[in-house]
């Protein structure tokens, strides 16, 4: 066999192998879908009528490498979504048996919830100007980061309830037109200071690695109905 022919055969085999690898990626697990229904709540930390029929998702998967306590004890949340022409609204019903927020700590080390949003659903491996992380602690303190983060786009009200707290968030959507059928990328996280004055646990909705603050490629989907 000539040297040219064997080089050609090696090249073709390599191409076939990499083509197979691309095909295999179709077998990756489908992204979970959460549904937001149309409605505008009063942002007061109380559950008004408009939330009653919004579907619920569970944020209860231990984030890998973070949980230092018994997973049974970890703070978790039930979350619902609404949308209107300007905002997406997120209602968090957090189960957390011990509430604490040490002000001088990193904001993610105190009892808080995080909403990660990829408005154009491009699922990029880095944050673009439509991607942001929005955080609210149980006392209503706001923080966040990411290329698309603007604190003036985040409003929230909180209240303490039996066994935990409620967070009602409004996040202004500025990079896409809000209409039925739109799909955005999202992830959800609950941070838990379980008495150590630092973060003892974090629960997530979909992707259990602690990288949602810098990589949107593993977000699930929020569909506007
Ligand atoms: C992560 C932290 C990260 C922070 C950045 C949190 O969601 O859990 O590990 O440093 O975001 O804002």
Contact 159, 93 (CB under 8 A): no
Residues 6+ apart with CB under 8 A from 136: 112, 113, 142, 154, 156, 158, 167, 169
Residue among 200, 209, 204, 205 nearest 102 (CA): 200
- Give Cα separations from 173 to 143, 148, 153, 206 (angstroms): 17, 10, 8, 22
pLDDT at res. 77 = 99
> Which carries the bigger pLDDT value, residue 209 or residue 26?
209
Ligand 1 centroid–CA 213 distance in Å is 6
Q: Is the CB of 110 under 6 A from ligand 1?
A: no
Residue among 120, 60, 69, 124 nearest 93 (CA): 60
Sole residue written with tokens 């295999």:
24
pLDDT at res. 22 = 52
pLDDT 10s digits, 153-188: 999 999 999 999 999 999 999 999 999 999 999 999
The ligand 1 atom at the shortest distance from the C-alpha of residue 114 is 7
Residue among 88, 76, 94, 108 nearest 154 (CA): 88
pLDDT at res. 14 = 45
Q: Is the CB of 84 under 6 A from ligand 1?
A: no
pLDDT 10s digits, 95-122: 999 998 888 899 999 999 999 999 999 9
pLDDT at res. 215 = 98
Residue 19 CB burial class (10 angstroms; 0-12, 13-18, ≥19): exposed
pLDDT 10s digits, 127-154: 999 999 999 999 999 999 999 999 999 9
Ligand 1 centroid–CA 95 distance in Å is 20
Q: Is the CB of 114 under 6 A from ligand 1?
A: yes
> Which carries the bigger pLDDT value, residue 44 or residue 3?
44
pLDDT 10s digits, 18-41: 444 555 556 677 899 999 999 999
Ligand 1 centroid–CA 33 distance in Å is 23
Q: Is the CB of 112 under 6 A from ligand 1?
A: no
The ligand 1 atom at the shortest distance from the C-alpha of residue 145 is 12
Nearest protein CA to atom 8 of ligand 1, as residue: 210
pLDDT 10s digits, 60-71: 999 999 999 999
Q: Cα(first)–Cα(last) distance of the chain, in Å?
A: 62
Ligand 1 pocket: which of 131, 188, 199, 210 to mutate (most atoms <8 Å of CB)? 210
The ligand 1 atom at the shortest distance from the C-alpha of residue 189 is 7
Token code pair at residue 69: 């306590």
Ligand 1 centroid–CA 108 distance in Å is 6
Answer whether 0.75 is exceeded by the pTM.
Answer: yes
Q: Is the CB of 189 under 6 A from ligand 1?
A: yes
pLDDT at res. 24 = 55
Identify the sign of the CA torsion 75, 212, 149, 176: negative
Ligand 1 centroid–CA 224 distance in Å is 27
């Amino acid at each position: 066999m000539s040297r040219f022919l064997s080089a050609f055969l090696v090249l073709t085999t390599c191409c076939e192998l990499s083509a197979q690898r691309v095909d295999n990626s179709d077998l990756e697990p489908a992204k979970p879908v959460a549904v937001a229904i149309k409605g505008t709540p009063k942002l007061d930390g109380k559950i008004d009528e408009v939330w009653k029929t919004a579907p619920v998702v569970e944020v209860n998967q231990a984030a890998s490498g973070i949980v230092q306590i018994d997973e049974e004890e970890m703070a978790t949340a039930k979350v619902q979504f609404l949308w209107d022409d300007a905002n997406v609204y997120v209602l968090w019903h957090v189960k957390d048996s011990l509430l604490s927020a040490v002000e001088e700590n990193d904001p993610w080390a105190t009892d808080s919830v995080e909403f990660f949003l990829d408005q154009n659903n491009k699922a990029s491996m880095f944050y673009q100007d439509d991607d942001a992380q929005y955080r609210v602690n149980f006392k209503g303190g706001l923080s966040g980061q990411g290329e698309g983060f603007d604190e003036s786009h985040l409003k929230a009200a909180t209240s303490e309830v039996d066994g935990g707290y409620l967070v009602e968030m409004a996040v202004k959507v500025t990079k896409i037109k809000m209409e039925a059928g739109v799909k955005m990328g999202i992830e959800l996280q609950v941070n838990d200071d379980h008495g150590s004055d630092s973060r003892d646990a974090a629960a997530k909705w979909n992707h259990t690695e602690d990288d949602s603050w810098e990589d949107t490629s593993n977000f699930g989907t929020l569909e506007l109905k």
